[in-house]
Amino acid sequence: MNAIESASRELVEQLLRKEITTEQELNAAKKAVSVRYKLSSLLSNSRILAEAKADEKEDILDLLQLKPVRTLSGVAVIAAMTSPAPCPHGLCIPCPGGPSSKFNSPQSYMGAEPAARRAFENNFDPYKQVGSRLRQLSEIGHPIEKAELIVMGGTYTSRTLCYQEWFVKRAIEAMNDFYGTQWREGKGYVSLEDVQFANESARIRNVGITIETRPDWTEVEHIDTILGLGATKVEIGVQSTYDFILAGIRRGHTVKKSVEANTRLRDCGLKVGFHMMPGLPGSTIESDLNMFRTLFEDERFKPDYLKIYPTLVTEGTQLHGMWELGNYEPLEVEEAVEMFAKVKSNLPKWVRLQRIQRDIPAYQVLAGIKKSDIRELAKKRLLEMGGKCSCIRCREVGHRKLPVNEPLDIELTTEKYKACGGMEHFISFEDVQHDVLIGFIRLR
């Protein structure tokens, strides 16, 4: 063993003997072994974990696992980004990046977001991106046996059919190959169907594929392709429920198109996520609050998943020019926190609020919300108001801290609601007393 390996092993043994039980004790022990073994820097958690034997890892994972929220839902989310390509309708006023920008990035990204950086580092190769992300998660102690692929980077369904199929095929191949390529023996070049079949017995199973696209690129032929790729969820950029706002930002589609897309996708058995943008030019706090109320009261909408992206002013956008001329002011942090607290208080139990805020680094935001913890601030404000959020993410068992050794009183519950001309059934196992969600399925 070299010095790094010996130091790492010493820390593993201290962890196993329970001599280290807190993060503070771990940091102190790292400093001590670094001095003793004359290391140039402190050992990373992933390096320590690499020195543990397979049967030891579970006993020390709690302290060494970084960002446990990444897999608290039981699934490792793996994002892969498509190569830069222009949006088929042109540029929306707030939209950053794109192949014609100085960033030469996928549309709506600026190149410094974590997924975008990983894509650039791997030359937008889906195989390399997925392999890189799986390796990162594995090294910091996350289970990766159940993986969901999210295809990011613009209007995916506007790309050529050949590119769409190649991208998904290579992404799943990376999952199949992560622990070895024995399954390939004698097969040579394989089709998407062969790769999908091989994944059924791979150590890393692809349990879902999410496609991002625009509402006006979800016609029947697009959905047929999506289903053929094995997609289980589609996220569409609805952005607003007001036609005058969509027209004002040159979005290129109407609210009617979003409703039609939502209906078609649901009728084809796909889960649907909405991207919404409060703070767009022409909106007000009250109109945005009304927009979110409409999403869950109007049967034409009612998304299964929701991402909230407050409008930001970024370099090179048309919105940047409006802001410089004094013709636009984005949401302030305080008013956004108040708004999102109210939004969270009204979310139904069958929706998952996936995120609030883009991954754009603060230094690239010229005006608007620069805080990355806006969701936590909204949650804190909601608690101060005496309310609580009932969305899936806030209630699921992985995110809830229950009393130690307290048994769960689990019940089978069903909630029915109408959406897009159909009846939705949200069937779940829950600890009703503690308001904890154990598992669920959706039927239509």
pLDDT digit string (tens) for the chain, length 444 residues = 788 888 888 888 888 888 887 878 888 888 888 888 888 888 887 778 777 777 777 777 767 665 555 455 678 999 999 999 999 988 899 999 888 888 899 988 988 898 999 999 999 999 999 999 998 888 777 889 999 999 999 899 999 999 999 999 999 999 999 988 776 765 666 799 999 999 999 999 999 999 999 999 999 999 999 999 999 999 999 999 999 999 999 999 999 999 999 999 999 999 999 999 999 999 999 999 999 999 999 999 999 999 999 999 999 999 999 999 999 999 999 999 999 999 999 999 999 999 999 989 899 999 999 988 999 999 999 999 999 999 999 998 876 665 555 657 889 999 999 999 999 999 999 998 888 999 999 999
Instruction: Please name the residue ranges forming H helices in 200-317.
Output: 220-228, 243-248, 255-267, 285-297
pLDDT in the model for residue 236: 98
Whether residues 389 and 408 share a domain: the answer is no
pLDDT in the model for residue 21: 79
- The domain of 404 spans 399-443
pLDDT in the model for residue 75: 87
Which two structure tokens, joined as six digits, stand for 171?
């992404």
Tally of structural domains, the chain:
3
Whether residues 258 and 387 share a domain: the answer is yes
Whether residues 296 and 234 share a domain: the answer is yes
Whether residues 246 and 316 share a domain: the answer is yes
Whether residues 59 and 81 share a domain: the answer is no
Whether residues 348 and 412 share a domain: the answer is no
DSSP letters along 322-357, please?
HHHTTS--PPPHHHHHHHHHHHHHT--TT-EEEEES
Whether residues 115 and 216 share a domain: the answer is yes
Q: Coil, strand, or helix at residue 33?
A: helix
Whether residues 84 and 164 share a domain: the answer is yes
The reported pTM is 0.84
Give the CATH number, domain containing residue 292.
3.20.20
The rounded distance, in Å, linking the Cα atoms of 132 and 80 is 10
Whether residues 373 and 429 share a domain: the answer is no
Whether residues 104 and 116 share a domain: the answer is yes
pLDDT in the model for residue 176: 94
Provide the residue type at 120 as one letter: F
Whether residues 229 and 296 share a domain: the answer is yes
Interacting residues of 286 by C-beta distance below 8 A, sequence separation 6+: none
Whether residues 380 and 424 share a domain: the answer is no
